[in-house]
Copies of this chain bind each other. A is one copy, B any other.
């Protein structure tokens, strides 16, 4: 009864995190109501992001330049490599302002259930980066969940014969907590108190 165009809009919006079927319907209506102020600009912003935003081949971050602004920034400390599950985790670390090194974005976590293997997470290239003599520390900032910690342990094992200290975030990350849901102070505390893995 809403017409296929709006139905499709609702269906796609409902796939965004935080929007269920009902809120997707409300969002679609708001968009059509605010055609000039919201719908057209958002369609354009999405098309622009689709055209311009790339995945950094070095670290896995999203940016419009390649390598990304973090990898290209020579003031960032090349001796520290922070391993995060996804770009949300990278953003969460960046918001704290407490980390000045480089990143490795896994793009997921090891999971026998979901069939996610080390190859899927680019762990070989992470190990290769860690072998660079400039790198002194690899900080495992995967979530404090079972899969996050399984992944961290696996990476720590793979790094055992590299000449780096392997650390993990410590105090402050609640068990079962996702990095992106934490306040900046908690992440900062966990980063400062990071422990040898």
Contact = CB atoms under 8 A, between A and B. Distances in A.
A17 B3 contact: no
A25 B181 CA distance: 11
Interface residues of A, number: 50
B31 A86 contact: no
A2 interface: yes
A38 B38 CA distance: 18
Contacts of A46: 9, 31, 39-40, 42-43, 46
A52 B12 contact: no
A95 to B, nearest CB: 8
A180 B24 CA distance: 12
A69 interface: yes
Copies in the complex: 2
B62 A32 contact: yes
Contacts of A12: 38, 41-42, 45
B18 A69 contact: no
Given A47-B47, A50-B43, A17 B6 contact: no
Nearest to A47: B43
A158 interface: no
Given A19-B19, A30-B17, A3 B47 contact: no
Given A5-B45, A28-B49, 19 more contacts: A1-B94, A2-B62, A5-B48, A5-B64, A9-B42, A9-B49, A15-B30, A15-B34, A16-B30, A16-B31, A16-B38, A17-B27, A18-B18, A26-B88, A29-B62, A35-B50, A35-B53, A43-B50, A47-B47
